[in-house]
Amino acid sequence: MKNLPVTIPFFDEKESQNVKKVLDSGWVAQGPVVAEFEEAIASHEGIKYGVATTSCTTALHLAMAAEGMGAGMDALAPAFTFVATTNAIVQTGATPVLVDICRDTYNIDVEKLAEVIRNDYREQNGKMVHKETGNILWGIVPVHEFGLCCDISAVNRLAEEYHLKVIEDAACALGAKIGEVHQGGFGNPSCVSFHPRKSITTGEGGMVLTENEALAKRMRELRTHGSTVSADARHHGQGYLLPEFPEAGYNYRMTNLQAALGVAQMEELPEFIRRKNMNYDRYCSCLQTFERGELMRFREGTYANKWFYSLHLYERHPDRSKIICGFDEAGIQTRAIWGLIHMQKPYLRCITYQIEKAEYYSEHIINLPCSTNLQERQIVEICDYIKKNL
């Protein structure tokens, strides 16, 4: 087997044609193609509004800023996530408080969320205030890990009980559902990613999905330096529409070039997810006799996009990099999971609450190749290597 990557995006002629149209038009910055892409994503997920950004990280920050997260506030988040989740929190001036995850699904543990609120915070003037730091608890930032929606109904109940806000980090979860409700449809802003490793890509890019018209309007203004008049409105308006900037915003605008890729990719999303699910089943079938580990599980009643195929090895290996190097030598690219948030330098002093399962899984997971164009024979070869060498 030669150089099989963990994942690689799939493009055909449609992407090239769409990008050429934008180049020929001369309008390469944010404009009508971005609006078309926003509508395509929102429509697919059954949501009213999409606000495209430069990345999921900026989408998270934009949503957090628009929802009032800031200095002197705490946001509860899983310790087991990519660092972008907490980076967005600290960019608002707020402080992440890290919570453990559930066994098998790797999503945030709602029981631990409830415990940290009840044990570490007290009610004061209608707000939950941290007993030691005095920070106000803004809310919760759950993550839909590896394309599997977390128990968002339980998160929402907890948020309602304590009058907290919720923003969902759905970077990996485009197309994922609970029952017939897509991510983004659970009553909170959700943020998706279009990084090349995700289900579809725009090179880099992200989007906030929301049902709230006022919030969508505010985020569109904030992503454009705080301008009250968009470039599209100026283009189609009569005379010279001078924008006003009532507050300092950001430059988080996606370009028409990126969106052109996204529009073409969206036409393939259902097929991409179908292939991802089919290949997951193939992996499971091939690894049935493998007794030293198993693939990530998915809760009943959920429809995951199977973004990554995470192999849980029951036994902790003292040198996991050696295992990954062995895969590399066999022409199979694999990846360890991220380092835990509170073990990264900016977060060494971060408040954590009984982190146990996250530490276990961070040492026991290897992510296997998962491209949409992965072939059955390649999966068989990967599984044969696993069974012979792990």
pLDDT in tens, 312-352: 999 887 678 899 999 999 999 999 988 899 999 999 999 99
The answer to whether 307 touches 290, Cβ cutoff 8 Å, is no
Q: Highest mean pLDDT: which of 114-118, 295-299, 311-315?
A: 114-118
The confidence band for 300, taking pLDDT boundaries of 50, 70 and 90, is: confident
Whether residue 242 is predicted with pLDDT greater than 80 in this model: the reply is: no
Whether residue 30 is predicted with pLDDT greater than 70 in this model: the reply is: yes
Q: Looking at the domain that runs over 13-266, which CATH code has it been given?
A: 3.40.640.10
pTM to 2 decimals?
0.95
The confidence band for 236, taking pLDDT boundaries of 50, 70 and 90, is: low
Mean pLDDT across the chain, nearest whole number?
94
Residues 243-277 pLDDT 10s: 788 889 999 999 999 999 999 999 999 999 999 99
Residue 240: predicted pLDDT? 59
Domain with CATH 3.90.1150.10 in the chain: 269-389
Domain with CATH 3.40.640.10 in the chain: 13-266
Question: Helix or strand or coil: residue 289?
Answer: coil
Q: What Å distances lie between residue 127 and 111, 124, 130, CA to CA?
A: 20, 5, 10
Residue 53: its H or E element: strand 49-53
Any idea what DSSP says for residue 132?
T
Q: Residue 3: which of 322, 381, 386, 337 has the closest Cα?
A: 381
String of DSSP letters for 152-194: HHHHHHHHHHHT-EE-EE-TT-TT-EETTEETT-SSS-EEEE-
Lookup: tokens for 3:
């150089």
Domain at 269-389, CATH class: alpha beta
Exposure string for 146-157, b = 16+ CB within 10 A, e = fewer: bbbbbbbebbbe
Lookup: tokens for 363:
């040492």
